Amino acid sequence: MTDWNQAPVILTVAPVGAEVTRDHHPGVPFTPEEIAVASLEAVAAGASVVHLHARLDDGTPSGDPELFDRTIRAIRAKADPVIMVSTGGAVWMTIEERTRALEARPDMCSLETGSMNFGDDLFLTSRPDSIASAAKARAMGIVPEIELFDVGHAVAAARMLKEGHLTGPLNVNLVLGVPGGIDAVPEAIPALLRPLPADVRWTVTAIGRHQRRMLAVAALLGAHGLRVGFEDNVFLRKGRLAASNAELVADMARLVTELGRTIANPAEARSLLGLPPSGAFK
């Protein structure tokens, strides 16, 4: 078995979510073409996974699969990262709107296993909706990444695995620092991993000012992956906006290397995430 500090780290870029706007950063990409360019720049900087949301031209979050498809096609025309679409969408979307992104046939999709307070909003995902979303992804050959905002979400994921609604080894993303979810402290990482099988493959996302320090902790604890991007944080350092998503990726790649680990390329990421070789579903 490869020692944790010898395994390459998978860098994910989340170039735009559902919350960040151009009031936060003037360079937030909205159109499929803008999101694709930001994604390709990030891949060139070291990202091997692209986590996508879709926006209308005015920045409104959308679940329209055509927008996802345009973005994915533009990325795949020039590079071959792992493509993941969000089924979290925006807090006001129905589960039907949120899962339409699967029609764009990505490699992976995010999957929620429970509801939560998301800031001042209520983000609803019932257990039947989680099970139905997992079944839809499986039928389409799309591998889920479970988004864990709190310990109850990890317990629910373990239950879905035991009942056969999910297939192991699980890919999970530990999301730290969202108001309403688990806080961004080192102790949160083992708390989220505790209910899950030992063979879980885990990535860490940390929000805002917590991002760099918590991803450094995660890298030292053996995380399989780390996520950066404007969806989670628009600052490179306190008081300094990142020039681009690519700058955040390049900064994290340098930090990981300084900590003694290497960065996975897209082919290595596919293998580590349990995905088939590129093109198998296309």
pLDDT score at 6: 78
Distant-in-sequence contacts of 190-197, Cβ < 8 A, 24+ apart: 191/151, 192/148, 192/150, 192/151, 192/154, 193/154, 194/151, 194/154, 195/151, 195/154, 195/155, 195/157, 195/158, 196/154, 196/157, 196/158, 196/170, 196/172, 197/158, 197/161, 197/168, 197/169, 197/170
Predicted confidence (pLDDT) at residue 2 exceeds the cutoff of 60: no
Q: Which domains does the chain have, with CATH numbers?
A: 10-272 (3.20.20.70)
pLDDT score at 1: 41
Q: Given the DSSP bridges, would you call strands 121-123 and 143-148 parallel, antiparallel or unpaired?
A: unpaired
Q: What are the structure tokens assigned to 154, written together?
A: 């990890």
Over residues 38-42, the mean pLDDT reads 98
What pLDDT, in 10s, does the model give residues 122-173? 999 999 999 999 999 999 999 999 999 999 999 999 999 999 999 999 999 9
| Contact (CB, 8 A) for 145 and 173 | yes
What is the dihedral sign for C-alpha 133, 134, 135, 139? positive
What pLDDT, in 10s, does the model give residues 240-262? 999 999 999 999 999 999 999 99
pLDDT score at 280: 42
| Contact (CB, 8 A) for 20 and 234 | yes
pLDDT score at 279: 58
What pLDDT, in 10s, does the model give residues 65-105? 999 999 999 999 999 999 999 999 999 999 999 999 999 99
Could you give the percent of the chain with pLDDT greater than 90? 95
Cα atoms in the 13 Å half-sphere on the side-chain side of 102: 24
Over residues 3-13, the mean pLDDT reads 87
